[in-house]
Amino acid sequence: MNATNPIIETFREQILHAAKNKTPLSIEGGATKSWYGNANTYTKLDTRTYSGILEYQPEELVITACAGTPLKEIEAALKEKNQVLAFEPPHFGEHATFGGAIAAGLAGPGRISVGNFRDFVLGTRILDGKGQDLSFGGQVMKNVAGYDVSRLMPGSMGTLALLLEASVKVLPRPAATATLRCHISQEKALRTLNEWAGQPLPLSASCWIGNGAGEGQLIIRLAGAAAAIKAAIPLMSSLVNASEVDPQSAEVFWNDLREHKLPSFENIAADQTLYRLALPAACGPLIISGASNEIVLEWHGQQRWIKAAGDEATFTLIKQLATSHGGHATRFKQGMNVNPAFQRFTVLSEQAHSKALELVQERLRSAFDPAGVFVTNRLP
Amino acid sequence: MIPMNMVTPPPDLALISALQSKLVAALRPILPEHALLWEPEDTIPYECDGLAAYKRMPLAVALPETEEQVAQILKICFEMQIPIVPRGSGTGLSGGAMPISQGLVLSLAKLKKILSIDPFTRTAVVQPGVRNLAISEAVAHLGLYYAPDPSSQIACSIGGNVNENSGGVHCLKYGLTLHNVLRVRGILMNGEIVEFGSLAPDAPGLDLLAIVMGSEGMLAVVTEVTVKLVAKPRLARVIMASFDDIEKGGNAVAAIIAAGIIPAGLEMMDQATTRAVEEFVNAGYDLEAAAILLCESDGTPEEVAEEIERMTKVLEQSGASGIRISRDETERLKFWSGRKNAFPAAGRIAADYYCMDGTIPRRHIATLLKRIQGMEKKYGLGCLNVFHAGDGNMHPLILFNGADAEEWHRAEEFGTDILEACVELGGTITGEHGVGLEKINSMCVQFGEGERESFWGVKSAFDPEKLLNPDKAIPTLSRCAEYGRMRISGGKLPHPELERF
């Protein structure tokens, strides 16, 4: 239905060839997140040849771009018009692509106040496993014509279809921001953040960094109208005895957090793994035996990062702890000596009431990809 | 426009009666007597939803009172291969809950308990039959509310909202149902209980919650919804701006967004609408204005003051001929009263009205309005235009007299023309009302064969036997082929470049 483009034709040929030979393709952009998800050694399909911003009209609050477009190119175009990808997708490297960021589906500090990647995806153009060129959704915020296939793409890790293009909602850069810091226990931080989140306060992001004993510091970001920030600073500071961080250091901090450049994320020992726990708001401090003494909590405690031994027994324990609280856990990044073949995710059957969804998911994948071109198991 | 006879052959009465007896006999043991209806005088209230022009009688109506009963009904129908049409409050405007002659209507209206409210985590767990507004009312004392506010919020149910991915006046800032629901518990057609999404920020595997949202009751039957509650803003104020030209009004909408402001509400009414509603509500609208914009700001008093000032400046620069700012809550509600009463006002000046729901990119608002003006002449029918201007979602209300079959036919043609114009302008045939049965033919225009085939693939992944609301939302290949032939024979060929016709 779309005019033929030689780059897309090359992709299609690769897909049809893979379908015929039953050899899955591992989709790759800038390879900045190649360590994320289950490992595989399949032939790569490089998306970077299909690059460029196709449409960007700031007053429509939407940008449409090719999957291979560098993420920094997109963010630079938005910055020029004072707009942002409000969920702050991490780059994890110079060459991160738009498509790669969508496939990983990850979000940064802003996620807690604005939503995740899928909340912002409005439309996609894909090549399915039969090489069909398909478009779903569109460029408008409200659209309920047909199933919302586009929103299946974020976080699908290339296991459903080849993403060609996507339209993503953007937001104006907040008129003002401020960052506050205080020393506070993990328990009190979690309680305070949840209480604040239930009040009309301009709370935009939070991060607690501390040790296993529960001592640490809380950093919060406020964003919104200048007058609202000005009014909130004294109110919130006085409650937790916080002080304001200068804007420059604050920007560096939030960026380092988003890009995992803080010391707590770096230096993963050879036999260790950086685990990610996604948890409900109700979950209090967790005690993980054998974990290293650095813990990072984001999203008011709903995303937690810990470093611990990389063996299966430890992951099983962490998974059980997360699922018993209604969440799940991921082996986010593994040390050099940890077996690359380990399953990185909590699988559906490990959660209550989602066993039957395994079959649904399998059928869904084969509807788009009957020959298994994208069955890399990168996401189970 | 829906050629009913084409898809549904005249029902064989003897066959239907035999099937009805079998179904009633199978369901009786698991449901209390009052929860199963099959006599025509009992089932007639279920023959249609909010789109009353589309009617059909079901075999029976089941009104289960527990999740367990819902699961049993599904298992029985699965075994008997009887299709099911799930139904909430029946306020839908696209015929999505219209019965199937040889099927069961499954009403979730009796599952209407709020199961829990947790102010600390800002969540509530509710059954599908709970009314949208009832959630906000139940948590108001905690300073919280449930953000999506479709106009039917006083009556529509949260289960219905999930299935339509409902929006509302405030979704520009606060999002759709999709953005405000964390978890949905539901039952697959084979009776298996499943949970989509999570109370955690994400869940393992593909994001199945996202695809269940807005799936028009075709993938699973919803039995429990965990919604996100948000802090009630301390203050809200609204600006009412008049424009002597519809294009200036449309450009003002774009200018506000371009200035980096996301208003809590951004609505537009054309002159025909303001004149019709003013008579009805006396809101003090400027009747000489070609268009009126309502721009709301909410938040802390400081925030609101700042935003109102910024928006006023943009509106003045955009050529507003008059600006009024609500001084207090009473006046704010008065300004809104016309917009909120546009539908009843339309009902007052015409025997019937047909509400459309297309969405277009904001920059084309004026273009579409001008085209609608042309269509009014072409079809000889009036049209009131009210819309969620902030997100480009239009609700043209086509006025007609339903007692005149020919006039209804013209209204339908008019509506189809508007939807096809929306697709042509880069938009969509439905922003929030759903496809249902009403817009099923327009799906052939918006999507190609490959996309429609994928939709059937999605449907089959959840419901391989195609028993859950199977005749809605996604047209079959043969239906689209037939529709194409019909449009050609009508002397008009939309999108001649498309081979599929």
pLDDT at B237 over 70: yes
Output the pLDDT for position B487.
Answer: 62
Res B498: pLDDT: 37
DSSP letter, residue A4 = P
* B223 and B261, same domain (yes or no): no
Q: Tell me how far apart the alpha carbons of residues B72 and B324 are, in angstroms, rounded to a whole number.
A: 57
Are residue B215 and residue B246 in the same domain, yes or no?
no
Whether residue B121 is found in the same domain as residue B220:
yes
**Partner residue facing B451 (CB), from A105, A135, A141:** A135
Q: Which residues of A129-156 are buried (b: 16+ CB within 10 A; e: fewer)?
A: bbbbbbbbbbbbbbbbbbbbbbbbbbbb
The CATH number that applies at residue B142 is 3.30.465.10
Provide the residue ranges of all domains of chain A, joining segments of one domain with +.
Answer: 6-172, 176-258, 272-346
Same domain? B252 vs B200: no
Q: Is A379 an interface residue toward B (CB < 8 Å)? A: yes
Residue of A nearest to B235 (CA): A200
Question: What per-residue confidence (pLDDT) applies to B280?
Answer: 84
Cβ atoms of B253 and B268 closer than 8 Å: yes
CB hemisphere CA count around B437 (13 angstroms): 25
Among the residues of A198-300, which ranges form H helices? 226-240, 247-258
Torsion of CA B67, B69, B70, B73, to 10 degrees: 160
Residue B263 and residue B199 share a domain:
no
* Short-list A147, A134, A139, CA closest to A120: A139
Domain assignment present for B311: yes
Cα dihedral B152, B153, B156, B162 sign: positive
Which CATH number do you get for residue B87?
3.30.43.10
Q: Same structural domain for residues B283 and B326? A: yes
CATH number where B314 lies: 3.30.70.2190
Tokens of B167: 């929006």
Cα B246 to Cα B251: distance, rounded to the nearest angstrom: 9
- ∠ CA A200-A201-A207, rounded to 5°: 135
Number of neighbours of residue A352 by Cβ within 10 angstroms = 9
- Asked whether residue B98 is assigned to any structural domain, the reply reads yes
Which two tokens mark B279? 């008579």
pLDDT more than 70, % of chain B:
95
| Domain A176-258 shares a fold with domain A272-346 | yes
> Using one digit for the tens of pLDDT, what is the confidence trace for B275-311?
999 988 888 999 999 999 999 999 989 889 999 999 9
**B342 band by pLDDT with thresholds 50, 70 and 90:** confident
**Domain A272-346, CATH among 3.30.70, 3.90.550, 3.40.1350, 3.40.50:** 3.30.70
pLDDT at site B38: 97
CA distance B185 to chain A (A): 9
Contact B169, B265 (CB under 8 A): yes
Burial of B371 (0-12, 13-18, 19+ CB in 10 A): middle
| Helix residue ranges, H only, B66-142 | 67-80, 132-139
What is the tens place of the pLDDT at every residue in A81-114? 999 999 999 999 999 999 999 999 999 999 999 9
Decide which of B165, B196, B231 is a domain's last residue.
Answer: B231
Q: Which of B428, B437, B447 to mutate to test the interface with A (most CBs of A within 10 A)?
A: B428
Whether B155 and B177 share a structural domain: yes
Distances (CA, A) of A56 to A59, A61, A170: 9, 8, 10
Instruction: Choose one of B107, B139, B164: the last residue of a domain.
Output: B107
CB-nearest partner of B474 from A116, A119, A146: A146
The CATH code belonging to domain A176-258 is: 3.30.70.260
Q: Which domain holds residue B47?
A: 4-107
Tell me the pLDDT tens digit for each residue of B394-427: 999 999 998 999 999 999 999 999 999 999 999 9
Residue B388 phi, psi dihedral angles, 5° rounding:
-80, 85
Q: Is the pLDDT of residue B21 over 70?
A: yes
d(CA B55, CA A380): 44
Q: Name the residue with tokens 């090549």.
A: A127
**Tokens coding A260:** 């995992």
| Domain total of chain B | 3
Does residue B479 lie within any of the structural domains?
no
Tell me whether B116 touches chain A (CB under 8 Å): no
Instruction: Inform me whether the pLDDT recorded for B488 exceeds 70.
Output: no
Q: Phi/psi of residue A168, each to 5°?
A: -125, 135
Which tokens belong to A185? 């226990």
Give every strand in the sheet of B235-243, ordered side by side: B322-325, B235-243, B291-299, B265-270, B383-388, B393-400, B352-355
| B200 contacts A279? CB cut-off 8 A | yes
Examine the fold and report which residue of B60, B87, B107 is the final residue of a domain before the chain moves on.
B107
- Where chain A has pLDDT below 70, the residues are 1-3
Amino acid letter for position B476: T
Average pLDDT over residues B64-87: 98
Residue A201's contacts (CB-CB under 8 Å, 6 or more residues apart) are A222, A232, A235, A236, B231
**B51 and B82, same domain (yes or no):** yes
CB atoms B120 and A281 under 8 Å: yes
In B188-257 the beta strands, taken as DSSP E runs, fall at: 193-197, 221-228, 230-231, 235-243
Annotate B123-172 with DSSP letters as a single string. EEEE-TTSBHHHHHHHHGGGTEE-----TTTTT-BHHHHHHHT---TTHH
**Which residues of B fall within a CB distance of 8 Å from A357?**
194, 196, 205, 208
Residues B167 and B73 in one domain: no
Contact assessment for residue B274 and residue B411, using Cβ atoms and an 8 Å cutoff = no
B132 in the same domain as B161: yes
**Whether B44 and B149 share a structural domain:** no
Backbone angles phi, psi at B359, to 5 degrees: -125, 140
Task: Assess if residue B498 is contained within a domain.
Answer: no
* pLDDT at residue B335 greater than cutoff 90: yes
Domain assignment present for B329: yes
Residues B253 and B217 in one domain: no
**What are the structure tokens assigned to B275, written together?**
């004149």
Report DSSP state, residue B447.
S
Kindly tell me the sign of the dihedral angle through the C-alpha atoms of B123, B127, B132, B133. negative
Q: Kindly tell me the burial class for residue A337, based on how many C-beta atoms sit within 10 Å of its own C-beta (0-12, 13-18, 19 or more).
A: exposed
Note whether B398 contacts A: Cβ–Cβ < 8 A.
no
Q: Which CATH architecture has domain A6-172?
A: 2-Layer Sandwich (3.30)
* B193 inside 8 A of chain A by CB: yes
Global confidence as pTM:
0.95
Task: Mark yes or no for CB contact B206/A352 under 8 Å.
Answer: no
Asked if A336 is an interface residue toward chain B (Cβ–Cβ < 8 A), one would say no
* Interface predicted TM-score (ipTM): 0.97
Residues 14-73 of A with CB under 8 A from B: 57-61
What are B427-441's pLDDT values in tens digits?
A: 999 999 999 999 999
- At a CB cut-off of 8 Å and minimum separation 6, what does A48 contact? A29, A30, A68, A97
What's the CA gap between A83 and B292, in Å, rounded?
28
Predicted confidence at residue B347, as pLDDT, reads 85
Output the average pLDDT for chain B: 92
A142 interfaces chain B, CB cutoff of 8 Å: yes
Q: Is B321 helix (H, G, I), strand (E, B) or coil?
A: coil
Question: What are the structure tokens assigned to B170, written together?
Answer: 């405030």
Secondary element (H or E) of residue A111: helix A111-114
CA distance A37 to A43: 16
Q: Counting every residue, how long is chain A?
A: 380
pLDDT tens-place string over residues B138-175: 999 999 999 999 988 999 999 999 999 999 888 999 99
Q: Is the pLDDT of residue B338 over 90?
A: no
Contact B206 A197 (CB under 8 A): no
| Least confident residue range of A61-65, B17-21, B342-346 | B342-346
**A61: chain B residues, CB-CB within 8 Å:** 257
Residue B167 near residue B215, CB atoms below 8 Å: no
Please indicate whether residue B141 or residue B347 has the higher confidence score (pLDDT). B141
